[in-house]
């Protein structure tokens, strides 16, 4: 992924990436969702969506 971003920048393109995401500990209808910065996602978090 980092190579793709670097290659795009070298060609003058920009790839928009989210800065925050919606996470939960499990993929269930009643799971508690939390908005987190991308760099704060824990190893056991599931990323469900990009942030607001």
pLDDT beneath 70, residues of the chain: none
Q: Where are the domains of the chain?
A: 17-52
Q: Residue 16's pLDDT is what?
A: 93
Q: Residue 46's pLDDT is what?
A: 98
Radius of gyration of the chain (CA): 14
Q: Read off φ and ψ for residue 40, nearest 5 degrees.
A: -105, 5
Q: Residue 52's pLDDT is what?
A: 87
| Calpha distance 4→7 (Å, rounded) | 5
β-pairing, 34-37 vs 46-50, is unpaired
């Amino acid at each position: 992924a980092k190579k793709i971003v670097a290659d795009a920048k070298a060609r003058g393109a920009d790839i928009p990436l989210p800065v925050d995401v919606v996470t939960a500990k499990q993929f269930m209808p009643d799971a508690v969702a939390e908005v987190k910065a991308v760099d704060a996602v824990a190893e056991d978090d599931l990323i469900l969506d990009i942030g607001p």
